[in-house]
A and B are shown apart, each in its own frame.
Chain A
Amino acid sequence: MKLKNKNIIRSGGRLVLTAAVFLFLVSFVSFGAGKSSPVEAGRVYGGQQMRTVVIDPGHGGIETGAKGKSGTMEKDVTLAVALKLKARIESSMSYEVVLTRDRDIDVPIEMRAAIANNNKADVFVSIHANGSKRETASGSETFFMSLNATDEETRRLAYLENRGSEIKDSMATSSEDELEMILWDMAQTAFIKQSSRLAEMIQAELNGLLGTRNRGIKQAPFKVLCGVAAPAVLVEVAFISNPEEEKKLTSDRFQEGIASAIYNGLSRFLRLYE
C-alpha cells in the first residue's frame, strides 16, 4: 500500500515536472514573440517619393579590405568613388545623400546598417572593389542579400503557417534568437525584389558604361546588407588583386566612370518610384 502511494506521488510528481517544462517552453515562446517588435517590414513604395540615398564606402581605418600588388587598398578606392557619387547625385537630383563614412575611419558593419536605418534610407548602396586569390580574376558584379534561400524560406513558411496551438511545437526547438531572425528575414524579403531590380540596373551600367567584364548579379549573405531596412545592394567594381584592374581603380577617370555607372543605375531605379 505504501509502495502504491509512493508511486502515485511519484507519477504525480512526474506530471508536475512535465507540465513545468512545458509551461517553461511556452512562456519563452510568448516572451520572445512579445519582445521583438517586428521591424517595419512593409514600407510601401508605390507612388511614394524616395528622399534619402545612403552610400557606404566599404571598409576603412584598420580594416583595409582587399589589397593590390602595388599597394592599393580597397578602403581608399571605395571612399574616393563614394565621394564622387555623392557629388554627382547632389548636383543633379533632389535627394539627400548620407555617407556611412566620409574619411578613413573604422565604422563597424552593424553601424553602417544603423546609419542607413536611422536616416530612413530609401535605398542603400555599398561600394567595394573585389579581390581574389586568383590574380587573373577580373570584372564587376552586383550583390544583393541572400537569405540562404532554401531553408530560410522553409522556416519562414513554417512560421507563418504555425499559428495558435501549433506554434509551441515548432518553437520548442528554436530559441528566442531564432525568432528574431525569422522576423528580420520577413522584413528583408519585403525588399529583396527591389534590391534585385536595383542590382540589375546598376550592373547593366557597369557593363555598358564602364565596360568591365560582366560577372552578373548575385546573392550572398553579406553582413552589411543584413540589417538594412531598404532596398540594398553591394557593388564590387573590378579586382584590386588583378594588376591591370588595380591600376585602373586608382585612376581618377576610372573612378568617375564607376560613379557615373552607379549613378545611372540608381537614377533609373529611383525614377520607378517618382
Chain B
Amino acid sequence: MEMEKEATKSKSAKWWVIGILTVLLIFLVVLFFTGGEKIKRFAEQNLPQPEGQVSEEAESKTVTLFLLSASDDLLHKEKRQIISGPSVEDEAGRVLSELIRGSEENMISPLPQRTQVRQVYVTKEGIAYADFSRALVEDFAYGSSAELSAVYAIVNSLAYNFKAIKKVVILVEGGEKDTLGGHVDLSRPLSPNYRLVAE
C-alpha cells in the first residue's frame, strides 16, 4: 500500500513536470511569436553547455576563409588552422577573427583591421548572428564593391565551414544595422553567395 502510494506520488510528480514544461513551452511559443526573440535567445544562451567536449579544445581544425584577391574583384579561398571546439559558436568566432587578421598569402581582408568579433550565436534554424565592434562600420567608407566583399566574406566564411550555419545576420555592437555603408541590406538573414568567389 505504502509502495503504491509512493509510486503514485512519483508518477504525479512526473505529470507535474510535464505540465510545467508544457506551460513553459507555450510561454516560449508566445514569446517567439510576439517578438520575444531576444529573450528567447538570452534564455537559450544561458542554458548550461554540455560537458565533456572540453578535452578536444587543444585540437586544431582546418577552415576556409574568403578573402579579396589583389588581382580581381572576387573572393578567393584560403585555408587556415584554428583551434577546434567546444561549440560551433566558438569556432565561428575564431574564423571571423582570422578573417579580420587577414591573409597569409598576399590577399586583402575585406574587413577593417581594428574590427573585433564580439559574439557569434547560432540558432537551431541555422541562422548565425555575428556581432562585431563598431569599427566594422566606422573604420571604412564602403563603396558597393567593398561592401559586397565585406558582407559576403563574413557570410560565406561562416556558411562554408559550418553545416549548422545556413544564413547569417551581421550585428554591430549587439544591434541590427541597415547596411555597413549604405548598400547591402542587412535586415534579413543573408545566404552565402558563391558567385562572388573565384573558381
The minimal Cβ–Cβ distance linking A175 to chain B, given in whole angstroms, is: 6
**Residue A274 at the B interface, CB < 8 A?**
no
Task: List residues of chain A with CB within 8 A of the CB of B84.
Answer: none
- The stretch that binds B, out of A127-135, A160-168, A257-265, is A127-135
Task: List residues of chain A with CB within 8 A of the CB of B29.
Answer: 21, 24-25
Task: List residues of chain A with CB within 8 A of the CB of B19.
Answer: 10, 13
**Residue A12 at the B interface, CB < 8 A?**
no
Task: List residues of chain B with CB within 8 A of the CB of A59.
Answer: 182
**Residue A83 at the B interface, CB < 8 A?**
no
> Which of B15, B73, B110, B144 is close to A143, meaning CB atoms less than 8 Å apart?
B144
**Residue A67 at the B interface, CB < 8 A?**
yes
Which residue of B has the minimal Cβ distance to A131? B143
Task: List residues of chain B with CB within 8 A of the CB of A110.
Answer: 178
B155-197 interface bits toward A, Cβ cutoff 8 Å, 1 = contact, 0 = none: 0000000000000000000000011011111111011000000
Task: List residues of chain A with CB within 8 A of the CB of B186.
Answer: 223
Which residue of A has the minimal Cβ distance to B110? A133
For chain B, the bracket of interface size reads 35 or more
Q: Is the CB of A66 within 8 A of B185?
A: no
Given known contacts A17-B26, A221-B184, is B144 in contact with A130 (CB within 8 Å)? yes
Interface size of A by CB at 8 A reads 51
Task: List residues of chain A with CB within 8 A of the CB of B22.
Answer: 14, 17
Which interface residue of A21, A58, A59, A133 has the most chain B CB atoms within 10 A? A133
- The stretch that binds B, out of A43-51, A85-93, A96-104, A236-244, is A236-244
**Residue A52 at the B interface, CB < 8 A?**
no
- The stretch that binds A, out of B47-55, B87-95, B145-153, is B145-153
Q: Is the CB of B33 within 8 A of A222?
A: no
> Which of A13, A25, A130 is close to B145, meaning CB atoms less than 8 Å apart?
A130
> Which of B15, B32, B184 is close to A220, meaning CB atoms less than 8 Å apart?
B184
Q: Is the CB of A133 within 8 A of B32?
A: no
**Residue B82 at the A interface, CB < 8 A?**
no
B108-129 interface bits toward A, Cβ cutoff 8 Å, 1 = contact, 0 = none: 1010000000000000010000
**Residue B70 at the A interface, CB < 8 A?**
yes
Which residue of A has the minimal Cβ distance to B22? A17
Q: Is the CB of A20 within 8 A of B26?
A: yes
Q: Is the CB of B182 within 8 A of A109?
A: yes
- Distance A223 CA – B70 CA, assembled complex (angstroms): 27
**Residue B30 at the A interface, CB < 8 A?**
yes
**Residue B12 at the A interface, CB < 8 A?**
yes
Give residues 105-161 of A contacting B (CB, 8 Å). 108-110, 128-134, 137, 143, 148, 150-151
Give residues 19-62 of B contacting A (CB, 8 Å). 19, 22, 25-26, 29-30, 32-33
- Distance A239 CA – B142 CA, assembled complex (angstroms): 11
Task: List residues of chain A with CB within 8 A of the CB of B12.
Answer: 6
Which interface residue of A66, A110, A130, A241 has the most chain B CB atoms within 10 A? A66
Q: Other than the known A3-B8, A133-B110, what 8 A-B pairs have Cβ atoms closer than 8 Å? A: A14-B22, A17-B26, A131-B141, A134-B73, A137-B73, A148-B190, A175-B33, A223-B178
22 examples of A-B residue contacts, CB within 8 angstroms: A3-B11, A6-B12, A17-B26, A24-B26, A25-B29, A59-B182, A63-B181, A63-B182, A65-B143, A66-B181, A108-B178, A130-B143, A130-B144, A133-B68, A134-B73, A143-B144, A181-B188, A223-B178, A223-B183, A224-B182, A236-B143, A236-B145
B residues in contact (CB < 8 Å) with A: 8, 11-12, 15, 18-19, 22, 25-26, 29-30, 32-33, 68, 70, 73, 108, 110, 125, 141-146, 148-149, 178-179, 181-188, 190-191
Q: Closest 4 A-B residue pairs measured CB to CB? A: A131-B143, A66-B143, A223-B185, A132-B145
